[in-house]
Every structure is written in C-alpha cells, then in structure tokens.
Structure 1
Amino acid sequence: MTSPRRPGRAFALPYRARYRFIVYSQDASTVLSLLLLALFLGLIVAPLASILGDMITVQIGDEARTQLQSDALTGHYLERVFASRVSHILFWRPLGNTLLISVAATVIAITLGTALGWLVARSDLPGRRWFATALIVPYMLPASTYALAWMTLFKNRTVGGQPGWVEAMGLTPPDWLAYGGLPTLVILSLHYTPFAILLVGNALRRIDSQMEEAARMLGASRMRIMRQIVLPLSRPALFSACLLIFADGVGEFSVPYILGLPVQFETLSTSLYRAIGTQQDGVAAVVAGVIMLIGVVTLGLDAWMMRETRRFATIGGKGMTERSHPLGRWKWPAFALAGLTFLLGVVLPLGALALSTVMKLPGRFTPENFTFDYWIGTGLHTVALRSGILLSPEFWNALGNSVRIVGAASLVAGLLGMLVGYAVVRSPLPLLGAALRQITFLPYLVPGIAFAAAFMALFAVPRGPLPALYGTPMILFLALIADQMPFASRTGIAAMTQLGREAEEAGRMSGAGWFQRMRHIVLPIQRGPMIAAVLMPFISGIKNVSLFVILAVPATDVLTTWALRLVDYNYQQAANAVVLMIALLSWAGTSLINRITKTGIAQGLES
C-alpha cells in the first residue's frame, strides 16, 4: 500500500527554483553580470572566434583559387601555410626565427635579471636603492625605442637615407650587426631584463634570511645555499618570468619590423603583418591562430605554475628577517655590472635618440651640425614632412588621436574593470562571476598583433546592424578596451574584494538605489584603485604598437604608428623625436600612478 502523497511536495523544487530565479533576477549584481557578459562576448570572444573561422572558410577574392564559393569550408589556407611550396617563407622560417629569438632573449634576460635582482634585493651593492628604480626604467619604454637607437648607431647602406653614426665615422657595419637576428636578440634581452628583475627580485626579497644563516652556520658554502635553498624557493617566480617573457617575445612586432625586414629576417608577427598587407586574409588567420595557440599554451603553463607556488611558501611574519649579504671583493665588479646595464639599457639608447634629433648629419659632432629643425624647423627638404614634428599637423593629429582614443578607452576600461570586480565579488551566482572573470582575462592569453588581426577579421566588414569599422577611430577604441580588460578587471576584482558590504547595506536601508549607491558610495571609496585601473591601460596603450599597426590607417594614426611610418620614409631623426615623446608620456603616466598609489614599481626591491 502506497503512502499518501504530501500536498505540494511534488512542486517544492520548482517553487524553490522559481523563488531563486525571482530573487537573483531582482539582484542588481546579477543583471550587471549578464550585461557585462554579453558585452565581452561581443568584444572578446566573437573576434577570436571570427579569426578561427577565417582559417577554414573561403575568403572573398579566393573563390577562383579554391574553386569554392565564399564562406564555404576549406583546408586551403591550412595547406598553404603548413605544407605548400611557399610554407617555408610564410610560416616555418618565421616560426624558427620567432622561437630562436624568444627562447634566447628569455635565457639572457632571466640570467642577467636574476643576478641583478639578487644584487638589489639581497646584497650590499653600493647604491642599490637607486639601482632598484633605475634598472626598471627600460620597462617603461617602448621596445621600438631600442630598435630606433640601434638603427641610429649601426644603420648601413642596405637601407636608404642617412647612414648611422658608425658608418658616418668611416666604418661600415656588416648586415648581421646592423639588422636581423643579433640586434633583435640584444634589444629584446635588454628590454625584458627589468621584468625579470621585478619578478625574481621580489621573490628573493620574500625569502627569510634565517634559513640561509642556519645553513651557513652548519657549514654550507654560498654556492650550496644558492643551489639548495635560494633557487628552489624562487623557482616559481623564475618559471613565471620565463614564460611571460617568452609569450611577450612571440608577439613582439616593432623590433623585428624595424630591424628584421631590411634583411628579410621575418618572425611570426611580421609574417602576419605582411599577409594582411597583401590581402591574404586566410593565411593571416592561420598565422594569427598559431600565435594565439602559443600564447594560450605558454600562459596556461604560467597559471599552473602560480598554483604550484603554494608548495614553495615559507613561513614569514614578525620573525622573518632580511639581511644584506656582503659582496666582499665582488662589490665593485657587481657595481660595474649594474652600471653597465643601466648604461646600455637607458643612457645609451635615450642619449643616442636625443642627440640624433638635433643633428643634421649623423655622427658629426661639430657645432654647425646641431639644429632644432627636426623639432621646430620649417621648410625642411623632405617630401612627407615639411616642418619639425612640433610644428607638424600630422604630429598633433597623432598625439590628439593617442590622447583621445587611448584616454577614452582607458577611462571606459577602468570603469568596466571596477564594474566587473563588483559583479564578480557581489554576484550570488558563482558560475556567472567565474565566467566573467575568465572571459575578461582572455586577451592576456593572445599577443596584441593576433588580437588586432582578430578584431579586423570581425569588424572590417558590416556585421548585421554594425557598419564596417575598419579605418575609423571606433575600431581602435573598442580593440584597446578589450585588450586592456585583463589589467582593468583584475584591479577591479582586487579592489572590490577588500570592500565590505556594510557601507552599501547602509545605503540600501536608507532607500538609495543601486545607481546612487555606486555613484555616492562604492566608486568614491574605490577612487584610488579606479584611477590606477585607468592609468595603467593608458600607459600600455600609449606605448602599444602591435595592436594599432594593423588597425590604424593614416587618418587614425596614433604616435606609435606615425613613428613607424616615418621609419618607412627613412626620416630617422623625426621618428626618433616621436619615440622620445612617447617615452616621455609613458614615464609621466608611470610617475603619476606612483604618486597616486603612494608606491613605486620597484618598491618591492627596496629595503
């Protein structure tokens, strides 16, 4: 005999589900999460999906070559890139160059950066507090700064225009020294060394000196302490620095573009740029897909390594001590190493660029050869630049575009980052917050030039109600917002995690709506983090080359793309002047962040 069914029991679960749906749908954080999720599906996921689709569908103009209709499925582009007669030129040689340069630059930067990081973090290096900041300056400069400085010094007759300083002094640098793999390797190594100093130096600083002292009292040598204590504890930071430097090197565009193309030394990024320039959209999609895959795998390994970091945690707190290790007779050789790095990484490139902008002829240090024509001159004997950059309408147009586009995009990215942080922290649906967190992090996994190609693949043609955006400032604006969301969203999540609910609950109890609470309570409290969330994308955007070089046209040039056009015209002095202005803007932004947040980029290395 069956027991009587309790009234309403069969409807308990649906009722509970309906109740939760009503409660969640009335929660502002849930609505905000859904709106943000829809926005970033369109800004981030759709472009990446679009370029992956272009790899296997016939592009307009290739119908006759593939014998298929436009948008039909095809393996033509995959075969052309990986297994055709031109695949060696299109892909395999650029891939080999990319991996060789990225791996070698990583090894050199990590080796030098680890040594310098240890010197400024754990030794009695003379002037180590000053070096802790000075050695990080190259981190604030665009990589193109070093490429143009190298061209200024070593340019030879292979490229037209004025010669470099060395040739002007009577010596002709060979092509292998002036262009190609060697200078690209040297420049990227110097450019990434500060990144290694930051990551490894901070990790070394957090190691308790008591463990080293105990080992030394037990008779362990310095090399054994370094091998069995210091390096194992700093291994996660070392691996993370290696992976991040490698991933960034794979997507680097400006250095191989400036120094590699004169001798046909191509990397994946320049091969992608050439494919887009010759309207091989399917080939460009395949190359971009490979760059994206390398970035995803590399940074996926970094995420796994960060989880492994917990295995290397040491007990700290009040008992933790930090002692400077005496260098003894190695003190001044170590000082010379740090000084030489600063000389090669800061003084020489910036000095060469600055001097070149006030010289009529390179490498001639006579009074009559110095001039300010490339800054404020008029009636210059050049076709595309008739006046100095400060009197040139093109410069002010590029500067205006940089400030307007990058500034507006940074402001929107910072605000969206804070809203993402609020939605992730406050959302009653953990899966929704996790999805939002992961999607806003996706652009970090994709090198800039591949992400730009993805944006171009999606927005270069009309899509439903959206017109074609290529050639307009809007595509730069949207691309920069999406590209900077990893930094802005992580800043917002970190800030909102530290904000309790009490102030907002008090506002709700007093009758304030969600917009009022955000405007008068949440955002004013988070003013400092929000300013940082705006300024960090601004600094990155001002220096950005890879993202803009594909999406910008002459009418929408920013400073970085206009500088590259001047390089193409062989207007070396003018290009150098523009890069110096970019470096000045980047330094000013970094200083402003330090002042607002009352911290410094190298604070973790100072004692």
Structure 2
Amino acid sequence: MADTAMSGQGRRVFFRQGTVLKTVVLAILIALIVLPLLRTVLFTLQPGTVGAWSDVLVGRLSTNLFYKPLGNTLLIGFVVSAGCVLIGGFLAWLVVMTNVPFRKTIGVMATLPFMIPSFAAALAWGSLFRNDRVGGQIGWLQGLGADIPDWLAWGMVPTLIVLTLHYFSLAFTIIAAALATVNSDLVEAAQIAGAKGRRILMGIILPVTTPALVAAGSLCFAGAVSNFATPALLGLPVRMQTLSTRLFGMIEVGQVGRGYVIGILLVLISGAFLWAGNRIVSGRRSYATITGKGGRAKRFDLRSARWPLFAVAMVILLSSTIVPVIVLTASSHAPSSANLFSDWTLHFWIGQSDPSFAQGIPGIAYNEDIVRALTITLALGFAVAFTGMAVGLLASYTTARYREGWMSAAITQVSFLPLLVPGIAFGAAYIAYLGAPIGPFPALYGTFALLVIAATAYLLPFSVQTGRAVIQQVGGELEESARITGASFARRLAQITVPLAIRGLAAGGILIFVKIIRDLSLVVLLFTPTMPVLSVLAYRYASEGFGQFANAITVVILFLSIAATLIANRLQSKSQPWLQN
C-alpha cells in the first residue's frame, strides 16, 4: 500500500507540469555544450595524449608552446580591457552626462565598431601601415614615402590598437547604460556642497558605476584574449604568438593533443578572469543607484571644452568605423595598396582570369571558390539563425514558464556557458567531439552539419537572451487558457507564442545570422576546402599575400552584416518600441 502510494507520488513528481520539457531541454543543452568540452578534456587524459600536458606546461618546449604566448595573451587582455574601459567610459560620459554637441550622433557611432569584424580592421591597418619587413606589398603610407617602423606595422602595438578600437563599443554600451541610472540628486548634492567636477567624477560617478566598469573590463578582456584574427594577421608574420594562434597552429600541424591542452588552459584563463570580475562586484554590499527618490537627468556643462572634446570623440569614432570601410573599399579596387587611391580596377570584383594579373585569380564574381563560399556562408547564417532561435526559444520558454526547481537553474547556467569559452577553443572542442565516429554515427568533420551544430551551440547565449526577452512579452494567461481547452504544448507554442513574438524572434535570428557570417575564431578550425566560408577564405587570401581579394570579400561581409543589422533593428523597434528611446 505504501509502495503504491510512493510510486504514485513519484509519477506525479516526474510528470508534474514542465518536468518532461525541462528534462528534454537540459539533455539538448548538455549534448550541445557540456559533452564537447568534456570530450576535449577526456581526450587529453588518454594514455597516448596525456603527455601533452607535460609538454605544454613543463617540457623543454613549454616556453615557446605556452608561456611566451601566455604572456602575450595576458598583455593583450589587460591593455585592451583598460583601453576599452577608458575610451568607452569617456564616450559614455560625453553622451549621457554632458552637453557635448551631437550627442546622439556620437552615441550611434560608438555602437558601430563591434559590427565590423576584427579581421576587417586588421586588414585595413595592414593596407595603411604595412612595411617591407616580411615582403609582399607595402602599405599606403610607405608608398607615399613614409618610413613605417616595424613596431607600428607588425606585432604587439598594432594588435593592441586594433583590438581596442574593436571592443570599446562593448564597454561603451555597458557603461552608458549604468551612467543613465546615476541619481542626479547625488550629483546636485555634491555641487551644492562645493565639490568640483573631478571630485564628483572620482567620488560619486565612478564608485556607483563600478559593476559596469568591471563587467565591461571583464568582457573586453575575455574577447581580446580569445581573438584569433587580429594577432594572426598582424602578429604571426613576425612570429608573435598568442594562445589562440598557438592553438590554431598545433591543430593545423596535427599535434591535436597539445592543441587541446592549450585550448583548455585558454578556457580556464578566460573563465577565471570573468569569475574574478563577478567576485569583485559581489563583494560590496550595494551599488544601488535607482531608488524611490528618482531625479531628473543632470548634465555637466563643458563650457569651452565642448567642441574640443567633440573633436576627440570624432577622431576615435572615425578611426574605428569610417576609415576602415573606406580603406577596405579602396584596397579592393587598387592593384597595389601602395597606391591606394589611384589606378583603380574592377578586376578584383568582376574580372575574368588573366595570367598576367593577380596570378590568374579571377574576380570574386567569377571565382568559383568565393561564390561557393558565399553560398555556404549564407546557408550557414540562415540555418544557424533558425536552429539557434528554435533551441533558444525552447530553453527560454522553459525557464520563463517553469521557473521552479534545480533543472531550470541548470538550464540557465548551461545555456550561458559558451560565453566563457573562446571561439577557437569551442571549435577545437567540436573537432574532438564530432570529428571522429561515435558508435553508429559517422564523423562530421568537413560537413555542413558540423558547422551548423557548433555555431548553434556557440551562439546559444545570444539566442536564449533574445528568446527570453520576447517570451516575457507574451502573457502566460493566453497559453493557460489554451491548455485548459486541451491544446498541446506544440500547438500552444506554434499558434500563440511564436505568432505573437515573431518580430522579436526574427530580429534575434538576424542578429545571430550577422554574428556567424562574420565570425572567424569559431570556424577557422572547422574550415575545409570542401566546406569554405567567407571569413576564413578572406583570412587565407590575406595570409597568402592577396590582400585585394581578402579586402573585397571583407567588404561583402560588411555589406551583409550592416544590411542585416539595420533590418534587425527595424524589426526590434517594431516589437519593442521602448527601445527607440
């Protein structure tokens, strides 16, 4: 009797509303995210590869394999994060808290650099500053007669500058949102007490925005240490290695054990810094700036500094947005980057094969490899947008409608785990996971399916966050009414939730489309000649000295990214009209 009661209670617990759905979603997330990372760790612990740990950490080659790249990686991370917080914080302060001219223009332009792939900025830097140290074409400035030093053309300095100009928009977005919540009563009270602007900045504004500063620095650090494209294009020609380029090199030459070890260490470093940033913020009792005593926005009067500060802001913004696009467009028409704005030709776009020009490589319109890569890239973007939003919608629906229990918390934590994993390390994990047969399932390396699965898993945090935003706009009482009338889960989702949230879902899908078509770090290890994508093809052309073709491909990626982003913003403003303000 007791056993019957217990079994009945167990069935009620298991089949409690949402339990089956949470079990299915958690299983999908574990298969997409946890198992690839676990498979990578287990691969390095096998008898034949466990020695890779000692080779990387204490072997005679460990200095070149790990410690020198580690030093370069940490230097890049700390300098870029500091630079991004300074530049992003400066621009956010101008836009939110001052009367600088054209504040809205500065605000819009400050969000654009993150839309431009980092390898695009690196290619533009090379077209301007490249010298003759490594052979090949020289840049425009040296073509004009300028003597470009090696430290400005190659290596650490250009890598730091390009990455800072790429990631500062991320810091700007986070810090601007925090500054907008600073209670003006605090500022006014300090001004009444006689405090000067510098004292207010150091004593009020910076302390209460500490969480935003730490979050911005942590995210910029994680992005910089995991970036592959910029150090590969500007550092590898002079043998400057980072952990991401070393990981790529190890797997390229077949030393996968060492490559996986470096990938695991890169994940630990990135994750440790993000954890430390969160720990610093959580160690203080309160950073509350929004209370029951709200106040109107307070702006500092810059007086005579208005226009000089506006000029400084525009120099930064033009250097990170307009200039790279102009340089890339010009370079895709110029036979030589030394003569960037003269003797233009359309060969790199629509030219037929000519043995006397560009080694017979036809323009991108007639280049079968590039046309195939464009087709695969677009198909990949649409496929990942669909699968990503489907899985993201399922995960966010589950956690929004059935919040109780440990499984909901686990779904949330696992879905955001890829944020801790650098893209190139995640790509390596998927090679270990699906690059070899698993039971009756064949190896997927070199297939379109592997690209879709890996990209879906890697971009899951963005799809879950988008899904959560749109799910919360749909009242639960609508689905509850349908459930009472006997509608199944699939029918409720298809006929109520999705139609009501379709614009927000479409906007999220387009943003995922943009992220994957311009991504290089994730796909650079999954690239094969039979499954090319535009970003890797651009990198290959640049590495082989065909900069004009690389720049032309990059312009195509930029056009697709900007057009899709504008469409996504339009859809998002329709579904979430408060974002217009």
Normalising by structure 2, what TM-score? 0.95
| Alignment correspondent of 2:350 | 376
| Alignment correspondent of 2:26 | 37
CA-to-aligned-CA distance 1:379-432 (integer Å, 9 cap, x gap): 244677621112222222111111111210121110111111122233375111
Q: 1:563 aligns with which of 538, 556, 575?
A: 538
CA-to-aligned-CA distance 1:515-538 (integer Å, 9 cap, x gap): 211111122122233223312221
| Change over 3 Å in CA distance of 1:127–1:502 after alignment to 2 | same
Letter in 2 for 1:33: K
Bigger radius of gyration among the two: 1
Letter in 2 for 1:404: A
Moved more, 27-36 or 327-336: 27-36
| Change over 3 Å in CA distance of 1:220–1:570 after alignment to 2 | same
Q: CA deviation at 1:309?
A: 8.2
| Alignment correspondent of 1:285 | 260
- 2:72 aligned with 1:83: no
CA-to-aligned-CA distance 1:575-605 (integer Å, 9 cap, x gap): 011111111211122211210111899x98x
Q: Is the 8 A contact 1:30 1:428 kept in 2?
A: no
- Rounded to whole Å, the distance in 1 between the matches of 2:370 and 2:210 is 46
- 2:21 aligned with 1:21: no
Q: CA deviation at 1:474?
A: 1.1
Q: 2:339 aligns with which of 364, 371, 375?
A: 364
| Alignment correspondent of 2:441 | 466
Q: CA deviation at 1:464?
A: 0.9
- Rounded to whole Å, the distance in 2 between the matches of 1:385 and 1:313 is 64
SS in 1 for 2:326: helix
- Rounded to whole Å, the distance in 1 between the matches of 2:434 and 2:99 is 55
Letter in 2 for 1:300: W
Q: CA deviation at 1:15?
A: 5.6
- Rounded to whole Å, the distance in 2 between the matches of 1:371 and 1:347 is 22
| Change over 3 Å in CA distance of 1:128–1:22 after alignment to 2 | same
Letter in 2 for 1:32: L
| Alignment correspondent of 1:597 | 572
Moved more, 162-171 or 344-353: 162-171
Mapping 1:207-606, distance limit 5 Å:
207-304=182-279, 311-316=286-291, 319-364=294-339, 369-380=343-354, 381=356, 386-427=361-402, 430-598=405-573
CA-to-aligned-CA distance 1:420-477 (integer Å, 9 cap, x gap): 1122233375111111111111111111111111111111111112111111111111
Q: Is the 8 A contact 2:39 2:432 kept in 1?
A: yes
- Rounded to whole Å, the distance in 2 between the matches of 1:445 and 1:556 is 27
| Alignment correspondent of 1:176 | 151
* 5+ residue gaps, structure 2: none
- Rounded to whole Å, the distance in 2 between the matches of 1:230 and 1:428 is 36
Q: CA deviation at 1:16?
A: 5.9
Q: Is the 8 A contact 1:108 1:189 kept in 2?
A: yes
Q: 1:161 aligns with which of 122, 136, 144?
A: 136
Q: Is the 8 A contact 1:81 1:283 kept in 2?
A: yes
- Rounded to whole Å, the distance in 2 between the matches of 1:309 and 1:595 is 39
Q: Is the 8 A contact 1:28 1:514 kept in 2?
A: no
SS in 1 for 2:418: helix
Q: CA deviation at 1:374?
A: 0.9
Q: Is the 8 A contact 1:180 1:265 kept in 2?
A: yes
SS in 2 for 1:549: coil
Q: Is the 8 A contact 1:418 1:489 kept in 2?
A: yes
| Alignment correspondent of 1:189 | 164
- Rounded to whole Å, the distance in 2 between the matches of 1:366 and 1:222 is 46
Moved more, 249-258 or 200-209: 200-209
Moved more, 387-396 or 195-204: 387-396
Q: Is the 8 A contact 2:187 2:298 kept in 1?
A: no
| Change over 3 Å in CA distance of 1:112–1:437 after alignment to 2 | same
Letter in 2 for 1:238: L
Q: CA deviation at 1:484?
A: 0.8
| Alignment correspondent of 1:70 | none
- Rounded to whole Å, the distance in 2 between the matches of 1:265 and 1:376 is 36
SS in 2 for 1:548: coil
Letter in 2 for 1:378: Q
Letter in 2 for 1:37: L
CA-to-aligned-CA distance 1:277-325 (integer Å, 9 cap, x gap): 1111111111001111012212223444665687111234684210321
Q: How many residues are treated as equivalent by the alignment?
A: 579
Moved more, 293-302 or 230-239: 293-302
Q: Is the 8 A contact 2:182 2:290 kept in 1?
A: no
- Rounded to whole Å, the distance in 2 between the matches of 1:256 and 1:379 is 32
CA-to-aligned-CA distance 1:328-350 (integer Å, 9 cap, x gap): 12111101111111221112211
- Rounded to whole Å, the distance in 2 between the matches of 1:599 and 1:255 is 36
- Rounded to whole Å, the distance in 2 between the matches of 1:410 and 1:213 is 47
Q: Is the 8 A contact 1:24 1:428 kept in 2?
A: no
Q: CA deviation at 1:174?
A: 2.6
SS in 2 for 1:547: coil
Letter in 2 for 1:270: T
| Change over 3 Å in CA distance of 1:285–1:359 after alignment to 2 | same
Moved more, 26-35 or 441-450: 26-35
Q: CA deviation at 1:50?
A: 1.1
- Rounded to whole Å, the distance in 2 between the matches of 1:124 and 1:425 is 41
* 5+ residue gaps, structure 1: 1-7, 63-73
- Rounded to whole Å, the distance in 2 between the matches of 1:600 and 1:322 is 27
| Alignment correspondent of 1:56 | 45
Q: 1:100 aligns with which of 62, 70, 75?
A: 75
- Rounded to whole Å, the distance in 2 between the matches of 1:428 and 1:208 is 33
| Change over 3 Å in CA distance of 1:79–1:425 after alignment to 2 | same
* Root-mean-square deviation (Å): 2.3
- Rounded to whole Å, the distance in 1 between the matches of 2:357 and 2:67 is 39
- Rounded to whole Å, the distance in 1 between the matches of 2:166 and 2:304 is 29
CA-to-aligned-CA distance 1:55-81 (integer Å, 9 cap, x gap): 22244xx7xxxxxxxxxxx3x111110
- Rounded to whole Å, the distance in 1 between the matches of 2:256 and 2:240 is 22
- 2:105 aligned with 1:130: yes
| Change over 3 Å in CA distance of 1:98–1:333 after alignment to 2 | same
SS in 1 for 2:308: helix
